[in-house]
Amino acid sequence: MSQLSTKHLLGIKEITEADIRLILETAANFKEVINRPIKKVPSLRDITIANVFFENSTRTRLSFELAQKRLSADVVNFSSSNSSVKKGETLVDTVNNILAMKVDMVVMRHASPGAPHFLSRNVKANIVNAGDGTHEHPTQALLDAFSMQEKLGDLAGKKIAIIGDILHSRVALSNIFCLQKLGAEVMVCGPVTLLPKYISSLGVKVELDVMKALQWCDVANVLRIQLERQQIKYFPSLREYSLYYGINKRMLDSLDKKIVVMHPGPINRGVELSSDAADSEQSIILDQVENGVAVRMAVLYLLAGVKG
């Protein structure tokens, strides 16, 4: 298989295992490219890509922009804070105006779950979901899987614990779909108030004790508390959360095996992860950032080859 089965990347749920494996194989080739002295390839030289971000982003936006420039694409950046959206323009009108300037692909982050899906039904360009509310963040799940594969090899049968604010995390949902399609076992761990009611229906294990989750897993993917999405208090204080669910080096050293520690960023140091754990030799957090560029290069390159 050398082509994706879809012209959009809207979520991991919508793509096949073969699509995921193709993206990860292509990313391995691009990782070799970005570690050369000359990091640019002319693969998307005639393609124009618009980064349309309706929410704040540092890592994802920089990573996509760097991936686009490494592929020699023309890049247009759009920020809703200084756009006609503030004057009442609709999402479809905003994007159609951008497409009227002959843009081929749109990378979009939006606060509303399903916004990229809605857009894909109303415009002709390829759409890449860079995060839609609390729904999905497909490229983060792909780069997480790529980073785990680099460290552990084939993920079939591997045990992955996702620890933290599962309820408000788009990373958790995409990771669950991606890891299950690659044959991994998935556990979620966090306070019961931060676990969605539907979570057991996704075929994952549920654990409330963080030490038991760490003892069980090969990889701990630690998520931050998404305070900006919380309308009510889900736990008494950050200090109490850290006391019960924060992970530190002492806890990692007490395990009878070495596990891999991951975090999609940004880290709230001293809350979900202590500095000595985040900076330990078991952490692959900076590898995730590097791999993000290669994985996003692979996604853009493969989608550009899908017409129709």
The per-residue pLDDT string of the chain (308 residues; one tens digit each, 9 = 90 and over) reads 689 999 999 999 999 999 999 999 999 999 999 999 999 999 999 999 999 998 888 899 999 999 999 999 999 998 776 556 666 788 888 888 888 889 999 999 999 999 999 999 988 899 999 999 989 999 999 999 999 999 999 999 999 999 999 998 999 999 999 999 999 999 999 999 999 999 999 999 999 999 999 999 999 999 998 755 555 577 768 889 999 999 999 999 999 999 999 999 999 999 999 999 999 999 999 999 999 999 999 999 999 997 65
Contact 150, 158 (CB under 8 A): no
Q: Nearest CA to 22 among 174, 140, 146?
A: 146
Is residue 170 marked as binding? yes
Cα 156 from Cα 55, distance rounded (Å): 35
| pLDDT score recorded for residue 116 | 95
The reply to whether 250 sits in an annotated binding site is no
278 in Cβ contact with 6 (< 8 Å): no
Q: Is 236 annotated as a binding residue?
A: no
Is residue 131 a known part of a binding site?
no
Q: Judge contact between 308 and 6, C-beta under 8 A.
A: no
- Confidence (pTM): 0.94
CA distance 260 to 152: 9
Please indicate if the annotation marks 133 as binding a ligand: no
d(CA 31, CA 82): 34
- Ligand-binding annotation for 265, yes or no, is yes
What is the pLDDT at residue 148? 98
Reference 210, options 266, 273, 151; nearest CA is 273
Q: Establish whether 87 is an annotated binding residue.
A: yes
Does 224 appear as a known binding residue? yes
Please give the pLDDT value at position 307.
61
